[in-house]
């Protein structure tokens, strides 16, 4: 089959069929081997909080752990399907895959071309960061879903002038705000952009827009009130939550707990999404200068003259503003963590997929090949990997530690580093574990006759009579300090030393001198 025949088949194939294939491909990457890696430190906390909500009915907003939507969603699904790692990983995978359909939704509004939307969906489907954090129980992939749903709703309202789209925008904004404290950034970017288009008469709204806006705000307020008050258990929290969020994250910013330079996320792009970054930069030049995108917008004097080409130009302008805004905002914020990259990456994907045609098709194919290769590496390597995309991921060593715990009758945990153990030993299984939170005098637990004692290796016992001591990694991360002298070698080989938090595990030796199995 020659290239011409492939082009003809692609041209004749419906968008719906192509999106179905891309959707299934994206779903496959996000759901296959969901338990290949243990739950991350944060994942275990989020799953455990959801389990506590399910079993005890207790929840109150704490900005350290972000908004309530995730916990109520997971608690509800745990009730229906059972609490398990599989459900904890499957739910974010579904939300991450559904974003592909939202890209199709943007296409249906006329603000994306056929070719543009297909390449955007394909890049999104196999992006290593998007796949990795769709297999990850954190708030971010859910927030991204509602951010894009909000965009689809706004575009739908502009195009079809129907009240339902305004209500959908209210739902999307509210759910996003009930997930994470940085959702206002997205709302501000979208709001500023589309209000500017109204002011300059590039788009028009129906005469009922005031009623529609008030209705969407009421819907958003009701949803926010329900979640932030824990279904009316803490009614004042709805008003206190914004102040708590500002106070907490301002203090985190000032502490610079997980610091990095303002260009930290650009380095992450270079590590995992470099062809998308290159294509996005080229697309901005192509749109702004070669295609005269700005002039095209200027020459559209009224909303009635807004053609599909003008809509696409406006959409690219939004993506440029969105990219610039998020790069500046997240570059300024003190906390530098890899999952925040996806909020900056999405508009970059929409830029990178602009006019992939003719000679650029080869670049598009190379990009997809690169992304798939990197995705396979970061998502499906079954051992601890030396990658900055990992932020205190729980080590595969913990599987061995949990086997030791499973075989014991009584276990002492004398350490403040213990996640993901509460999740994996939730319910009745936690009863055999005595938790002290720090190293204590052996006299404290000696009468409990434990089979296993677990401590942090930097605050441990030199030795314990009748116990054998072994050290295991509890969590790990990429260590700049251990690799900075060989950075190019690491970049191409992805090897080297990783940073770790370690546990000393003391296991009782039986009368035959053998380690208990």
| Residue of 416, 379, 424, 381 lying closest to 399 (CA atoms) | 424
Mean pLDDT by 10 residues, the chain (517 residues): 60 87 98 94 96 94 95 97 96 98 96 96 98 97 98 96 97 97 96 94 92 97 97 93 89 77 94 97 91 72 71 94 97 92 98 90 95 96 93 94 94 93 92 91 88 94 92 94 89 89 92 43
Please list the residues that pair with 383 across neighbouring strands.
none
- The per-residue pLDDT for 151 is 98
- The per-residue pLDDT for 256 is 72
CA distance linking residue 451 with residue 412, whole number of Å: 8
CA distance linking residue 336 with residue 358, whole number of Å: 38
- The per-residue pLDDT for 447 is 85
Please report, in angstroms and rounded to a whole number, the separation of the first and last CA atoms in the chain: 59
Please provide the size of the chain in residues: 517
- The per-residue pLDDT for 5 is 60
What are the domain boundaries of the chain?
12-380, 393-508
CB 41 within 8 A of CB 475: yes
b/e per residue 401-425 (b: at least 16 CB within 10 A): beebbeebebbbbbbebbbbbbbbb
């Amino acid at each position: 089959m020659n290239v011409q025949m492939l082009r003809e088949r692609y041209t004749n194939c419906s968008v719906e069929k192509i999106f179905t294939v891309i959707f299934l491909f994206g779903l496959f990457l996000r759901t296959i081997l969901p338990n290949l890696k243990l739950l991350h430190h944060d994942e275990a906390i989020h799953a455990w909080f959801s389990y506590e909500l399910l079993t005890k009915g207790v929840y109150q907003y704490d900005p350290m752990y972000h908004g309530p939507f995730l916990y109520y969603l997971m608690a509800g699904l745990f009730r229906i399907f059972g609490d398990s790692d599989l459900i904890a990983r499957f739910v974010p995978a579904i939300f991450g895959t559904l974003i592909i359909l939202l890209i199709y939704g943007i296409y249906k509004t006329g603000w994306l071309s056929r070719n543009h939307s297909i390449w955007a969906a394909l890049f999104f489907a196999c992006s290593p960061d998007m796949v990795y954090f769709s297999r990850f129980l954190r708030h971010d992939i859910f927030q991204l879903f509602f951010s894009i749903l909000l965009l689809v709703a706004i575009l739908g309202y502009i195009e079809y002038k129907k009240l339902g789209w305004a209500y959908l925008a209210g739902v999307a904004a509210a759910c996003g705000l009930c997930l994470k404290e940085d959702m206002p950034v997205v709302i501000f970017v979208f709001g500023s952009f589309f209000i500017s288009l109204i002011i300059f008469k590039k788009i028009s709204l129906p005469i009922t827009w005031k009623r529609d806006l008030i209705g969407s705000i009421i819907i958003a307020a009701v949803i926010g009130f329900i979640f932030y008050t824990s279904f009316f258990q803490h009614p004042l929290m709805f008003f206190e939550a914004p102040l708590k969020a500002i106070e907490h994250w301002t203090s985190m910013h000032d502490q610079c707990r997980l610091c990095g330079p303002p260009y930290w996320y650009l380095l992450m792009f270079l590590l995992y999404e470099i062809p998308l970054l290159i294509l996005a930069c080229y697309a901005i030049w192509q749109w702004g200068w070669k295609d005269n995108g700005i002039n095209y917008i200027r020459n559209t004097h009224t909303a009635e003259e807004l053609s599909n080409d003008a809509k696409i130009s406006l959409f690219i302008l939004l993506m440029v503003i969105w990219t610039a805004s998020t790069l500046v905002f997240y570059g300024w914020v003190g906390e530098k963590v890899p999952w925040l990259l996806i909020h900056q990456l999405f508009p970059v994907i929409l830029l990178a997929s602009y006019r992939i045609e003719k000679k650029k098709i080869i670049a598009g194919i190379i990009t997809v090949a690169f992304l798939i290769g990197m995705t396979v590496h970061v998502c499906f390597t079954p051992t601890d990997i030396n990658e900055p995309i990992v932020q205190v991921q729980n080590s595969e060593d913990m599987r061995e530690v949990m086997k030791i715990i499973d075989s014991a009758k009584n276990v002492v945990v004398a350490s403040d580093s213990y996640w993901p153990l509460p999740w994996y030993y939730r319910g009745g299984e936690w009863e055999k574990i005595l938790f002290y939170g720090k190293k204590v005098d052996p006299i404290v637990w000696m009468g409990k006759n434990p089979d296993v004692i677990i401590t942090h290796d930097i605050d441990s016992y030199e030795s314990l009579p009748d116990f054998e001591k072994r050290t295991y990694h509890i969590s790990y991360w990429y260590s700049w300090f251990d690799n900075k002298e060989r950075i190019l070698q690491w970049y191409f080989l992805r090897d080297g030393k990783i940073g770790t938090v370690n546990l000393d595990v003391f296991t009782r030796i039986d009368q035959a001198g053998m380690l208990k199995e």
